[in-house]
Structure 1
């Protein structure tokens, strides 16, 4: 019995020894296996940018990292809605394989030099280089891929006239939601670069679109535009508050602000005056108040009405000059009172009456002259006018006295004379009023019987003196 127990003990010892041998051998094998894994692969419990690459060779890790990167999905979100999804591979993104491979090799070598029997989980950041296929990315992010949403264009800041407010206002720019491909590309690239720094491989990417990717207005509101609005409203106010009172002696014609306002062309680009309307107004005024170069109807001292065709005395509005002056006046914002711009003007006027009671009247048939000043008869006298022939007759019409001279020598090579008179007052074509000491009488038919002048109006010396001292250059004379 004891012999049997001893045999069993011996047998147990042998079994235990064998177990120890087996365990040691297994341990050595396991250790060898672990060492082999850690030195021929990247090792155990290792990740790169959050991606598990445990027990993978450099080539296997390189492939897994590349595929994981390119399979990442980029989702574009707009107004809280996912509108477009695409993988990085479809966008033309990839990792530079040479740089990735070298980085993994370096990591493997680093790990192999620090063999640990009991490894702990560790994540590594390694060098990488992203390659972009710009043409492929541009095609992937073309604006045609975003036409599943209603889009509006941006509008520029602009100046607009508000009919409701009756003034100019500055309308600020508005950003629409039309995709700007170049801005979208830049925005996506910048956003992805930022994401890659922390989440190169870990998860898909959502990019929220905002105004940065939309087509921007070309013109934004500026201080200069505000000043322009202020300037326009100031000018508009001046136009609307200007009046021009035209003075025709004691008579006036008022161009009021309502009429001026009706001429304004108010557009967003600015204010202009309807020059055709202004010109028509001036033309109507000229037709009413012009008195020269039109037949003149005259109420004579004897009570009859006569009309003279040669009318070179009076007023004529310079319509071109007047419209230029008026356009400047309209910008003033003031109440302006003035005479119109004349190309020809008389001595004085009262509305359409350009004589205003001061004139010389001559009747050739009656051979008589009347001098009026301020509505009062100063003198009247018989005269001797030009002989009634085509060469010597006195011209009928209305003219201003050109000037006065005392004394003055009358001469004519044609008729061979040179005579000095005391008082000379020419009116037209070398004809004038003057004293005539050689005339023994005046009036009647003397001008028809060889005593007629060469066109001048002969006067008694005392009458010539009185007239000379009463009038000045520009005084009207009407001969009929």
Structure 2
């Protein structure tokens, strides 16, 4: 019995000494069954572990494959790999409890998934390594971004992105390090193709297409002189383009041109008119300043604003000129209140609401300064004013006082009293004609001034 106790005591002492020796040993070593990634650093000092990790990593061979075909190999040393594990190892080392060294023989400590953050690979080195096995982006297919295109009859549509075969060097680096970390030496680079930067699901695409959808479904109807013109969806899409911020913009030059086609269809400004005269029956009157047209500058902006608002609208366009209300009623823009100047018969008539209120002889322009025929409208009325200009017959400037002045075109023609005329009507204009104006007897002119209103048509014909 006494012998048994002595043997047990000796055994306990031996074990205690062995355990204490283990504590002393592992106070300077990593414990058993410790690995860093797939590298065993058991029983190594901090310096030895760092050295082994660097050596093992740099000796590892990387095999590059593409779609299962081997392209070539190189070592991590070829990539100038920098293994920066010292700080991590030191922290791990210091966290060990040497008194638990025995447990290490029955349990493992694995520092997995840490290499990715502790290995640096030089970009140029990996590009050179890839080039050494003839893996170059030059000659490879470049990925294509999704984009918005326009086709006549189809409108705007999305052209999908296309994958390429050019390599993302940063992704290749990640695959190489991940392979080493996981103990895989074969790297499949078809996982590292550069992806398109813009896809069909990208906000850049979807937001623009949403804008296009809103705009293209906006219906603008212009009521022009009683006629409805709906701007076609295809026309709106042709006006549309996008700025640097992918915002819809409308080409106002194209809107302006389209309004020009509407003027050609409806406006009366440039119309040659058939006019039922008092003495000659139906006569043809050249275009003058009379008539209306769509105000293209104003209406271009109005249409753009409507499209930006994206709200359906039906309205009349902005109009300039005279006679629109008559056209709106389906009548001639001359209406039934107007001044009629018959150059051939040297007569002037004033009609108000279809009733002839003035019938007078006149004197029009003589040869060389003949009164220019056309359909005009009164744009001003003045009393006791001076007419100034250049007399082409005498070659001198003139200043002529008149009591009444009614200009009607944009070249200086107008209706005024002429107390210097010895007579009116007949052939007086051939020898004593005006410089283009309608010379009117002073006794009649006050009545003319009273009946003729601003905007009233003045129809001059020969």
Q: Which runs of 5+ in 2 are unaligned?
A: 1-31, 41-51, 84-104, 110-117
- How many angstroms apart in 2 are the aligned matches of 1:387 and 1:325? 44
SS at 2:327 equivalent: coil
Q: Which residue of 2 aligns with 1:465?
A: 446
Aligned CA distance change for structure 1 residues 281 and 380 (closer, same or farther; 3 Å): same
Q: Which of 337, 343, 347 is equivalent to 1:358?
A: 337
Q: Which of 249, 254, 261 is equivalent to 2:229?
A: 254
Aligned CA distance change for structure 1 residues 178 and 471 (closer, same or farther; 3 Å): same
Q: Which of 170, 183, 196 is equivalent to 2:171?
A: 183
Equivalent residues in 2 for 1:388-407 (5 A)?
388-390=366-368, 394-407=371-384
Q: TM-score, normalised by structure 2?
A: 0.56
Q: Which residue of 1 aligns with 2:438?
A: 456
Deviation at 1:278? Answer: 5.0
Q: Does 1:311 align with 2:317?
A: no
- How many angstroms apart in 1 are the aligned matches of 2:144 and 2:399? 88
Q: CA RMSD in A?
A: 6.0
Q: Which of 179, 200, 211 is equivalent to 1:234?
A: 211
Aligned CA distance change for structure 1 residues 252 and 467 (closer, same or farther; 3 Å): farther
Deviation at 1:468? Answer: 2.1
Contact 1:361 1:478 in 2 (8 A): yes
Contact 1:311 1:399 in 2 (8 A): yes
- How many angstroms apart in 2 are the aligned matches of 1:418 and 1:93? 100
Q: Which residue of 2 aligns with 1:369?
A: 348
Aligned CA distance change for structure 1 residues 425 and 48 (closer, same or farther; 3 Å): closer
Deviation at 1:245? Answer: 0.6
Deviation at 1:369? Answer: 2.3
CA deviation string 1:390-430 (max 9, x = no partner): 46x54433333241123446689969896553x33233565
Q: Which runs of 5+ in 1 are unaligned?
A: 1-45, 52-64, 97-120, 196-204
Contact 2:381 2:406 in 1 (8 A): yes
Q: Does 1:300 align with 2:286?
A: no
CA deviation string 1:281-324 (max 9, x = no partner): 43333333454466554332346232344734334556677556
CA deviation string 1:205-264 (max 9, x = no partner): 3257579961443636799x527633542344223323141534xx33513334535636
CA deviation string 1:432-477 (max 9, x = no partner): 334567889865x27369886664331463x533432333333221
CA deviation string 1:27-46 (max 9, x = no partner): xxxxxxxxxxxxxxxxxxx9
Q: Which of 360, 363, 366 is equivalent to 1:385?
A: 363
Equivalent residues in 2 for 1:257-336 (5 A)?
257-258=232-233, 260-261=235-236, 263=238, 281-292=258-269, 295-302=272-279, 304-309=281-286, 311-315=288-292, 323=300, 326-333=303-310, 334-336=312-314
SS at 2:408 equivalent: strand
Equivalent residues in 2 for 1:28-427 (5 A)?
74=61, 144=133, 156=145, 158=146, 160=148, 179-189=167-177, 191-192=179-180, 194=181, 205-207=183-185, 209=187, 214-217=192-195, 219=197, 226=203, 229-248=206-225, 251-258=226-233, 260-261=235-236, 263=238, 281-292=258-269, 295-302=272-279, 304-309=281-286, 311-315=288-292, 323=300, 326-333=303-310, 334-340=312-318, 342=320, 345-346=321-322, 348=324, 349-350=326-327, 353-374=332-353, 376-386=354-364, 388-390=366-368, 394-408=371-385, 420-421=402-403, 423-427=404-408
Q: Which residue of 2 aligns with 1:475?
A: 456
Contact 2:73 2:133 in 1 (8 A): no
Q: Which residue of 2 aligns with 1:432?
A: 414
Aligned CA distance change for structure 1 residues 288 and 359 (closer, same or farther; 3 Å): farther
SS at 1:241 equivalent: coil
Aligned residue-pair number: 373
Contact 1:169 1:229 in 2 (8 A): no
Greater Cα shift, 282-291 or 429-438? 429-438
- How many angstroms apart in 1 are the aligned matches of 2:388 and 2:80? 110
Q: Which of 424, 428, 432 is equivalent to 1:447?
A: 428
- How many angstroms apart in 2 are the aligned matches of 1:294 and 1:322? 21
- How many angstroms apart in 2 are the aligned matches of 1:275 and 1:336? 20
- How many angstroms apart in 2 are the aligned matches of 1:234 and 1:88? 53
Aligned CA distance change for structure 1 residues 263 and 425 (closer, same or farther; 3 Å): same
Contact 2:378 2:408 in 1 (8 A): yes
Aligned CA distance change for structure 1 residues 411 and 146 (closer, same or farther; 3 Å): closer
CA deviation string 1:5-58 (max 9, x = no partner): xxxxxxxxxxxxxxxxxxxxxxxxxxxxxxxxxxxxxxxxx999999xxxxxxx
SS at 1:206 equivalent: coil
Contact 1:313 1:399 in 2 (8 A): yes
Greater Cα shift, 380-389 or 83-92? 83-92
